[in-house]
Structure 1
Amino acid sequence: MFTAPEPPVRDRMLSARDHDCALLGLTGTAGGEVWGYAGRTLSAAVATPTTPAWLRLVSEPHGKGTGKLWEGPKEAERSMPPTVPRPRLLGLRDWSADGCDYRAELYEYVTTTPVSESPVIRRGMDLPDTWWHSLHRSLDRIATVPTDRVAVREQYIRRRVPEFTNIIPGQITWTTAHGDLHWANLTGPQLTLLDWEGWGTAPTGYDAANLYLHSLHVPDLAERVRKEFAHVLGTPAGLIGELTACTEILQAAARVPFYADLADHVRQHVDQLRALASTPDRTAQPQPPLPRRHGGPHSNT
């Protein structure tokens, strides 16, 4: 989803990946690496002695290999119902080297490809009705999963949403969410939900809002998302979820090029949300403009 990091990080991650493949008896495929933000993760297809698989390598500075993102995939494997289509986690391995903590996650191989190579889609996609029905069922099932994991912190919403949207959030309705629902994390034409490190509680409508915002370069697709999730998008119930998703993208735009390209569309959408926030049954209130600060992609800070 992201470009390869600077050579020192790239070489370190590739070396760690090769080390893990040797220990686990995996054969790496040439090329095809998928990089996370700033080289934090590296994923690629591999082959076990009996079957193809997918290896995802995560790194953090030594002593930082803990917390929500680190444990998300393992906890999703334990908590998510099997009816939610996702790659099953076959095993994981932790180790430390070169001043970093590493976790290697081995998944079953998914034969269907992501709808888009980038989180922000730029071309039309004709997905069958069965795909949309499967997405609805999956999000409904995720919403029922009890968890103490947090995808978006209330402190972040209270602090950053007014800063980037000039709207003060009111009462928040919470649900369990995938937490990173965009087109690079959804496969088609058969649906699989990828990347479970950030799942947890989030405002109602947050997942649907993320999918909508990542569709804004393709108006027909954006309109389809809006229609599919009309029960939350553009409603008072989903307003804070939409504002939160907008805030994260606007905050990330300073560092992530594809969010910088999307930012004007998102600001236009925020202008539309202000009208909703001004209705009598609003769950957020406009406020005078505040100066903006910038952070990393979906930093939740």
Structure 2
Amino acid sequence: MYSPPTTHADEQRALAAQRAAAAALGITIAGPRRWGYQGRTPGQHPEYGACWLRLISAPAEYASGKLWEGNAQAAATFPSVRKPALHGVYDGAVRDGLAYRAELTSYIDTPVCAPEPVLTGELERPETWWKSLRTDLETIAATTTERVAVRRQWIDRALPQYTGVPAPEEIAWATAHGDCHFANLTTTGPTLLDFEGFGLAPSGYDPALLYAYSLLTPQTAARIRTDFPILNTPAGRTALLVVAAVLLQSASRGDHPELIEPLRALVTAVAM
């Protein structure tokens, strides 16, 4: 959905879209642009104080749908979940075939738990942190939505392809954040970031994803299995297999190769 500008012309279009959004939303740019941090730029708003102005872009014909609308829909769908407050959305003019959307959110200055989704060092957080995370993920799971994060057709195809396990005939479904990993969780709170892809997924999908991304840190992985008992149910085992398929597919494209062997071991243990 967003990538840093690769040419001077791309950069100038993005900067023009950013200036237009800042003016429309009443924000004064107050810090360096962070092209690689999902298009976010810090700024100051007279009513909301410190904010992030996040700019995303897509070809105009694709500027709609789940990822484009995700954060705005999440703001209305999960009012009690700890996440950055969405103060405003601005859709700018189409520039050379590209559409731009700006989202003005509260400024979160607490660091995330890891710079990448995969956790490489044990996570030491207080009990209150884990309790808040459990509450928020349970709230998300219990919320009704028509959005889809993981499609049944993909599961039917990908589960045997990437795990060697046939897709189950019956799957329990619940709403999921859909991208719940340690680079989307802050060290205090936690605040859960980036709701673009939320929607229906196999029940237990978010805890299963956290667990898979913690496989290199045995103590944290064990804590997740303890705190999210759904992972020890038939529904949770299905979620673990689906997550393994997701990440093994991603690894086949070069992402997080360090997880390949732990994921294969997880599939063997769950499928027994």
Query: What is the TM-score with the length of structure 2 in the denominator?
Result: 0.89
Deviation at 1:4, TM superposition (A): 5.1
Aligned match for 2:268, one of 249, 268, 271: 271
Aligned match of 2:125? 127
8 A Cα contact 1:13 1:42, kept in partner = no
Whole-Å separation in 2 of the counterparts to 1:8 and 1:250:
36
Q: 1:17 to 1:78 in 2, by over 3 A?
A: same
Cα deviation digits, residues 108-128 of structure 1 (max 9, x gap) = 122422112211122222100
Who is 2:84 aligned against?
Answer: 87
Change in 2 beyond 3 A, CA 1:183/1:265 = same
Instruction: Write the deviation string for residues 78-119 of structure 1: whole angstroms up to 9, x where unpaired.
Output: 111x32111111010112212211111111122422112211
Q: Report the Cα distance in structure 2 between the residues aligned to 1:116 and 1:9, rounded to whole angstroms.
A: 33
Instruction: Please list every run of at least 4 consecutive aligned residues from structure 1 whose deviation after the TM superposition is greater than 6 angstroms.
Output: none
Q: What is residue 250 of structure 1 aligned with on the other side?
A: 248
Structure showing the higher helix proportion among its residues: 2
**What is the CA distance between 1:264 and its match in structure 2?**
2.4
Using a 3 Å threshold, how does the CA distance of structure 1 residues 10 and 256 change in structure 2: closer, same or farther?
farther
1:238 corresponding residue in structure 2: 236
Q: For the Cα contact (< 8 Å) 2:82–2:189, is it kept in 1?
A: no
The equivalences for 1:161-240 within 5 A come to 161-170=159-168, 171-229=170-228, 231-240=229-238
The residue identity in structure 2 corresponding to 1:145 is T
Map 1:33-112 onto structure 2 (within 5 A).
33=34, 35=36, 41-50=38-47, 51-80=49-78, 82-95=79-92, 96-112=94-110
Letter in 2 for 1:260: P
Deviations 1:57-96 (A, max 9, x none): 121112101111111111111111x321111110101122
Equivalent pair of 1:128/1:189 in contact (CA under 8 Å): no
Higher mean alpha-carbon deviation, 117-126 vs 65-74, is at 117-126
Q: In structure 1, what is the Cα distance between the partners aligned to 2:117 and 2:160?
A: 25
SS at match of 1:97: coil
In the alignment, is the contact (CA less than 8 A) between 2:32 and 2:42 conserved in 1?
Answer: no
1:289 aligned partner? none
Task: Provide the C-alpha distance between the structure 1 equivalents of 2:123 and 2:36, rounded to a whole number of angstroms.
Answer: 24
Amino acid at match of 2:155: I
3-state DSSP class of the match of 2:236?
Answer: helix
CA distance in 1, matches of 2:166, 2:9: 40
Give aligned-pair identity as a percent. Answer: 40
Give, as a single letter, the amino acid of the residue that structure 2 aligns with 1:264: E
Question: 1:26 is matched with which residue?
Answer: 27
In 2: Cα distance, 1:14 partner to 1:122 partner: 36
Describe the shift of the 1:113–1:154 C-alpha distance in structure 2 as closer, same or farther (beyond 3 A).
same
Classify 1:236/1:9 alpha carbon distance in 2 versus 1 (closer, same or farther; 3 Å): farther
1:140 and 2:165 matched: no
Structure 2 CA distance for partners of 1:29 and 1:101, relative to 1, 3 Å:
same
| TM-score in terms of structure 1 length | 0.81
The farther-off stretch of 5-14 and 211-220 is: 5-14
